[in-house]
Amino acid sequence: MNQYLAKNIINIAVAGHSGSGKTSLIEAMLYLAGVSDRRGKVSEGNTICDNDPEEIKRQTSVSTAVAPFEWKNKKINLLDAPGLFDFEGSMCEAMRAADTALVVLAGKSGVSVGTEKAMAAADKRNLSKIVFVNGLCDEGSDFYGVFEELKASFGPAICPVVVPFFEDGKADKYINMLEYKCYDYSGGKPVQVPMPDMGARLEGLRTAIYEAVAETDEELFEKYFSGEEFTPEEVILGVSHGVKSGTIIPVFCGDALLMRGMEQFMDGISWLAPSALDKAGEMAVDTDGNPVELQVNEDATTAAIVFKTIADPFIGKLSYIKVISGKVSTESNLMNMRTGAQERIGKTVMMTGKKQSDVKYIGAGDIGAIPKLQSAITGDTICTPVRKVLLDGVEYPTPTLKMAIVPKNKGDEEKIAQGILRLCEEDPTIKFETNNETHQMLLSGLGEQHLDVIVSKLKSKFGVEIKLESPRVAYRETIRKKVSVQGRHKKQTGGHGQFGDVWIEFSPCDSDSLEFGERVVGGSVPKGFFPAVEKGLRECILKGPLAGYPVVGLSAVLYDGSYHPVDSSEMSFKLAAAEAYKNGMPQASPVLLEPIGYLKATVPDANMGDIMGEVNKRRGRVLGMTPAGHGYQTVEAEAPEAEMHDFCTYVRQITQGRGHFTFEFVRYEEAPSNIADKVIAEAKNN
């Protein structure tokens, strides 16, 4: 593939609801552009973009793939983003590298949650947007119904560019509304034919175009609403400028599997979609935090963002980059702004799915990859040391489903940890930790399918098998009453004996562990033994009297005791303190504490009642609600961690994927007696 300047490079993230035909659309485009000599099919597992074994097995995309092609003297980099919400992190990566979002809808299902999420993600990054309505030859597809849905959802910015003409229920003819030409695909290849009679529908479509164009410019707006006609040039220029500025969303349509409307669509995006240069430079910050504008220019100093990483045990590490300014080549002297380390560039490649093609350099505005970068991870900025700048990284969703890992074979813990850490390099939406209290390895992700893919990859890539179960809750214990108790340790053996005697006052306090004090008078316990008493108690509070959980909020004051000048030792007083703890804690009204978390859930207005009801059902307390805009509300609540581990699945189901939430630990509270009894009984049985 030839090298292209930024003015002729178009970077497009292909997004939309799962099953809308994104991968099939890309296959059709690559085939038409001559990149492949046959069109792959998702069902046969031979597409260019779904090349990961997990994608082939599941027949759906689980990570972003890059596929460039040349069309009409332009280089178009397609970034195929997964539609499943569990792999939303990959969509964020694709949006970070793109300048335009191509949102794909299925003609028979129309605007769905995936459509809304793709549009919102594009808006967040200020990307231009283009819509393609796919599968018009499928039974039950309804382009004009979908078009009305788009208008209702996204307003007058929706602008029809290519529309179908149905004859006998078939969509074989496609009309370009800007050129006012009709093409018939019934014979396979497109043939221009006379314009069919569209009746009143034509006027409605033209009105939609004029309304969209009027929104792009104040003069055009006044002209339209004063009743004047737009000239064809004003319409074409208005649409072109509107798409580039983001005020117009052009709508194309066709059928990727039957190759209907594809040439018109590819011509359309090469003409309408903004180039890397059109999107101008990117704002970065220098080492002092001052804003710096980077020019999309090959002759400028180099700065690039790592937007995706593949960490494969067989092919090694591969860092996907988008060059913002300058160029990246083997001669580049670059540093990693996160680590401060020099990054050695062994070679630069362009990716088409999993296929690598060596190139001399990756220029400004282009997308490529660098194998075996030492320290780089996703989100890192690499730049020339002479001009140190920091680019925006990738903004990922927070993982909300946490499960405990159970190794299938004992002794695999180290291999499991190493494997997951490698997968975390590829996918930063995976979180991995070891809970030292419950002694469980915990894995967090965006949903059940996400975790299922991780389990599958651990087996196929790293040879370890695991299963997942609900994580244990890290309870605590404390006391509610003040008691004074004696702890006496006496043991007589041949020679020296052991003797330690303490009186300790235990009482509740505000503390995360133990507060130790002493008020011994008259030397009944020598000062030298105070640390031994404290040490004995600190070891004891690791296991509470009820269910063996750590004790918090405990004040222990040593106030009396006795000693033997020969038989007393540090060990004797440590054991005496342990005896006092054992005797005193059951008398001090011990209670079980459970962890409470702070919930912040943003959901559609229609689901507010369901979410609040569910929080109450899970023993939570709703603290308040605030409008979040665009028909959403944010519910704030507190709830016990023990009840919340599968809340992610509930929110996904009840809101159809529209809702999202965060849940963070805030404090411990006394558990209700029925819950405490259950936990204590389980602890005794184990």
Sign for the CA dihedral angle at 121, 123, 125, 128 comes to positive
Would you place residue 336 in the very low, low, confident or very high pLDDT band (cuts 50, 70, 90)? very high
Quick one: angle between helices 200-214 and 218-225, nearest 10? 140
Worst-scoring range by mean pLDDT, 69-73, 139-143, 420-424, 647-651?
139-143
Say how many C-beta atoms besides its own lie within 10 A of residue 541's C-beta.
17
Whether the Cβ atoms of residue 300 and residue 364 lie closer than 8 Å to each other:
yes
pLDDT of residue 342: 92
Tokens representing residue 107 in the block:
């003609």
Torsion of CA 448, 449, 455, 460, to 10 degrees: 170
pLDDT of residue 495: 64
Say how many C-beta atoms besides its own lie within 10 A of residue 577's C-beta.
29
> How many angstroms separate the most distant Cα atoms in the chain?
116
Whether the Cβ atoms of residue 683 and residue 547 lie closer than 8 Å to each other:
yes
Residue % of the chain over a pLDDT of 90:
66
Q: What would the mean pLDDT of 464-475 be, rounded to a whole number? A: 93
Pairing of strands 303-312, 316-325: antiparallel
Digit-coded pLDDT (tens) for 579-629? 999 999 999 999 999 999 999 999 999 999 999 999 999 999 999 999 998
Would you place residue 454 in the very low, low, confident or very high pLDDT band (cuts 50, 70, 90)? very high
Pairing of strands 348-352, 355-359: antiparallel
The residues, any chain, with a CB within 8 Å of residue 284's CB and separated by 6 or more, are: 291, 292, 293, 294, 303, 324, 381, 389, 390, 391, 392
pLDDT of residue 661: 93
pLDDT of residue 223: 85
Q: Delineate the domains of the chain, giving CATH numbers in brackets.
A: 6-204+243-272 (3.40.50.300), 282-390 (2.40.30.10), 401-469 (3.30.70.870), 477-588 (3.30.230.10), 594-685 (3.30.70.240)
Distance CA 379, CA 92 (A): 11
* 3-state SS, residue 547: coil
Distance CA 354, CA 369 (A): 11
Distance CA 217, CA 391 (A): 32
Whether the Cβ atoms of residue 393 and residue 305 lie closer than 8 Å to each other:
yes
Whether the Cβ atoms of residue 175 and residue 165 lie closer than 8 Å to each other:
yes
Q: What would the mean pLDDT of 11-26 be, rounded to a whole number? A: 92
**Kind plus residue range of the DSSP H or E element containing 193:** strand 191-193
Distance CA 128, CA 302 (A): 25
Pairing of strands 590-604, 632-640: antiparallel
Tokens representing residue 469 in the block:
């179960």
Digit-coded pLDDT (tens) for 350-394? 999 889 999 999 999 999 999 998 889 999 999 999 999 999 999
Distance CA 129, CA 246 (A): 7
Model confidence at 686: pLDDT above 80: no
Q: What would the mean pLDDT of 127-138 be, rounded to a whole number? A: 93
Q: What would the mean pLDDT of 390-403 be, rounded to a whole number? A: 92
Q: What would the mean pLDDT of 286-299 be, rounded to a whole number? A: 88
What residues form DSSP beta bridges with 327?
A: 363
